[in-house]
Amino acid sequence: MTTMTTKPIRETAVHLSRTYPKAHWYVIASSDEVGRSLLPRTVAGEHLVLFRTEAGEAVAMADRCSHRRYPLSAGELIGDEIQCGYHGLRFDSCGTCTWAPGQDRIPSRADVTVRPLVEKAPWVFVWMGDPGQPDHSAIPDVPWFGDERWATVNGMEPLDAPYGLLIDNLLDLSHETFLHAGYIGTPEVAETPIETNVDDYEEVIYVSRHMESVECPPFYRESTGLETPIDRWQDIEYHPPGFYLLHVRVAPAGVAPDGDDEQAAHVKVLYAITPADDDATLDFWAVARDFAIDDPEVDEFIHRMNRDVVLQDVDCLNLIHERSRTELDDTEVSFKIDTGGLAGRRMLRDQTARELH
């Protein structure tokens, strides 16, 4: 189904008791963040603590001692057990309370919840639905990680704003022209119409923008060696609630895809968008490329440039959210460029409402 907007729409926010669905896999950390120290992290409103066992297995458990609610992340990792820093209760990697002061028999209600994890380096995914029923078929597919034909860089930036603002941002790339000028923005991004397709059955949103004979921005000029004019394609897949994939093709102007498309450079820009709570987001990102695979200078350049772009988005969205806290009028006007974002908002509301009702 193609979603079209033919005139501006005034939209008023729909309020639910929370703004995100929980029964999904969210990225909770990068693989290299999780080690033999306690890492606190909040996902979908739940405080969790992560660590690795001595065998190297990643663990995520409730960051809350069952005795007097002291954060376990403020305790100590002893072997494969966390010792609470308040009264010394110990919890093993399964969440079982193994020791309490002055008590031999410990009730099972003292155990804490352990969340299912799946590691697809460089990311660690956590299941935030029923811990006993994780849906492994719903883990996003990231085949570029670990594929020797692709080089990957990644990072994470915290966002002091709701995750829905980031999804709006990523589904409408016309802002690149203005917010990211000098990095990835050129006039043609805002000038070129988009095509939006919404698959309600699979719950995927597609937004495409194909630009022909356009300016080559610094991000691609410096990393690929291509010069203006280029053909530049942006093909988005958004899988609500938290996985976004941008397929990029850049090639000398007029060079059509043929066979393995050797004259073109291909980039996959991935975002794992994790709601910490209703007002904060973890913005995990990765960039995979099929050129200059063994060039550490290109690695450093792409990491630095993409992080700068992410931080520009973070500053923008933080500013919007800060202002929204003091505004009584939350109406907005949407345009054709917002067809993907509006579809995303609808799907997120539907996913969340199904869990709440």
Mean pLDDT of 176-183: 97
Q: Would residue 17 count as lying in a domain?
A: no
Which of 99, 134, 169 is the last residue before a domain boundary? 134
89 with 161, same domain: the answer is no
Q: Which letter does DSSP use for residue 100 in this model?
A: B
What pLDDT, in 10s, does the model give residues 305-346?
999 999 999 999 999 999 999 888 888 999 999 999 999 999
Which of 101, 134, 167 is the last residue before a domain boundary? 134
168 with 280, same domain: the answer is yes
pTM equals 0.93
56 with 147, same domain: the answer is no
Read out DSSP for 50-85?
Answer: EEE-TT--EEEEESS-TTT---GGGSEEETTEEEPT
230 with 205, same domain: the answer is yes
Instruction: State how far the Cα of 291 lies from the Cα of 160, in Å rounded to an integer.
Output: 34
Q: CB neighbours of 175 closer than 8 A, spacing ≥ 6?
A: 169, 316
Which CATH number does the domain housing residue 55 bear? Answer: 2.102.10.10
Please state the domain count of the chain: 2
Average pLDDT over all residues of the chain: 94
Q: Would residue 13 count as lying in a domain?
A: no
Look up residue 309 and give its two tokens: 């772009």
32 with 56, same domain: the answer is yes
Instruction: State how far the Cα of 163 lies from the Cα of 345, in Å rounded to an integer.
Output: 11
Q: Would residue 3 count as lying in a domain?
A: no
Q: Above 60 in pLDDT, residue 75? A: yes
101 with 125, same domain: the answer is yes
Q: Would residue 309 count as lying in a domain?
A: yes
Which CATH number does the domain housing residue 214 bear? Answer: 3.90.380.10
Mean pLDDT of 55-69: 98
Q: Would residue 50 count as lying in a domain?
A: yes
Instruction: State how far the Cα of 150 lies from the Cα of 267, in Å rounded to an integer.
Output: 9
H/E stretch holding 348: helix 339-356
How far apart are the two ends of the chain, measured CA to CA in Å? 27
183 with 317, same domain: the answer is yes
**pLDDT value at position 188?**
97
163 with 63, same domain: the answer is no
**In 283-337, which residue ranges form alpha helices assigned H by DSSP?**
296-324
79 with 198, same domain: the answer is no
**In 161-295, which residue ranges form alpha helices assigned H by DSSP?**
163-171, 176-179, 187-191, 218-224
Q: Would residue 93 count as lying in a domain?
A: yes
130 with 200, same domain: the answer is no
Closest CA to 29 of 310, 284, 314: 284
Q: Above 80 in pLDDT, residue 12? A: no
Mean pLDDT of 65-87: 98
314 with 178, same domain: the answer is yes
Q: Would residue 337 count as lying in a domain?
A: yes
The domain of 223 spans 142-356
Which of 134, 151, 169 is the last residue before a domain boundary? 134
73 with 186, same domain: the answer is no
**pLDDT value at position 330?**
83
**pLDDT value at position 4?**
39
**pLDDT value at position 17?**
67
Q: Would residue 32 count as lying in a domain?
A: yes
